[in-house]
Amino acid sequence: MAEYTNRTVVITGAGSGLGAAMADLFAAAGANLALLDIDGPRAQAKAEELSARGIAAIGMRVDVADKTSLESAAAQIGEKFGAVHVLCANVGVQQLGAADKLTDQDWQWVLSVNVMGVVHTVNTFLPLLRAGQGDRHILLTSSSSFFQFGIRLAAYVASKFAVTGYGEVLRQELAPEGINVTLLFPGGMSTRHLQSSREARPEALGESKLDMADIEAMMASADITLENHVVPPEVAIRNLLATLSAKHPYLITHGNYRQQVEAQQREVLRAFDRMAAN
């Protein structure tokens, strides 16, 4: 029997990129799938593709910034599959811009989707996770930007810090219930992220501005090139199932930023040394 037979996996942002790659991975492991995306037709098309391969899959439109839309999806998923065993809160949008140029609306959009969208997703699906038996997992998509914070990314990096901090606390709170929390830190991936982000931004918050100069400045500041940083999403999550089985807290997918992490840790430790010396 495959590892995920009779187990249900819910994935947000599953119409495209990383979420769609997760859907393929869990489908190959035998899971039932609920695929959610603000782009309803893409979520449904992915579910139909998997159904044609004999996988029990449903796809539906959900805006993670809208609690009502999540609640309606959870009711349908509960009815169809009963419990949920893996929840992948994967949606995140991008708005580049210099820190002093990002507007209140830019911040509102990024935080409402990347932070509150994750919180709403977890809160909405927790009852279905609690209804499941055995090991259950919450996978939160953070970003390598948590470690490798390039310029022009203030709103995005702040949002991924929030998701990461939230995940750290959630892991401790849910451990006694047998629900594991893993934080996923993907590096750059060849996905539709910039395009789908622009498409998903609510009209009421104005258009998402995209300036190539911001992308170039960001990549240069973090020593990022397409060659050293970008892989297809399915390559990024090649170790995901093993990471969940082992209940590891973190999954680093790829990228060249280990030395930056070590340098930052050394700087923090030097601050401790100064504290001890004074």
Ligand X SMILES: NC(=O)c1ccc[n+]([C@@H]2O[C@H](COP(=O)([O-])OP(=O)(O)OC[C@H]3O[C@@H](n4cnc5c(N)ncnc54)[C@H](O)[C@@H]3O)[C@@H](O)[C@H]2O)c1
180 binds ligand X (CB under 6 A): no
Distance, first Cα to last Cα, the chain: 61
Q: What angle do CA 251, 50, 233 make, to 5 degrees?
A: 30
Contacts to ligand X from residues 231-250, by CB under 6 A: 233
> Residue 132 or 224: which CB sits closer to ligand X?
224
Answer yes or no: are the C-beta atoms of 85 and 9 closer than 8 Å.
yes
150 binds ligand X (CB under 6 A): no
Does the annotation count 156 as an active-site position? Answer: yes
Tokens coding 212: 């190539």
Burial label, 221 (beta-carbon count in 10 A; 0-12, 13-18, 19+): middle
Which run of H or E residues covers position 60? strand 57-61
60 binds ligand X (CB under 6 A): no
Smallest gap, in angstroms, from Cβ of residue 236 to ligand X? 8
124 binds ligand X (CB under 6 A): no
The closest of 100, 211, 201 to 155, measured between CA atoms, is 100
13 binds ligand X (CB under 6 A): yes
> Residue 9 or 189: which CB sits closer to ligand X?
189
90 binds ligand X (CB under 6 A): yes
* Binding site residues, ligand X, CB under 6 A: 12-13, 15-19, 37-39, 42, 62-65, 90-93, 113, 117, 141, 143-144, 186, 188-189, 191-193, 196, 200, 233
Active site residues: 156
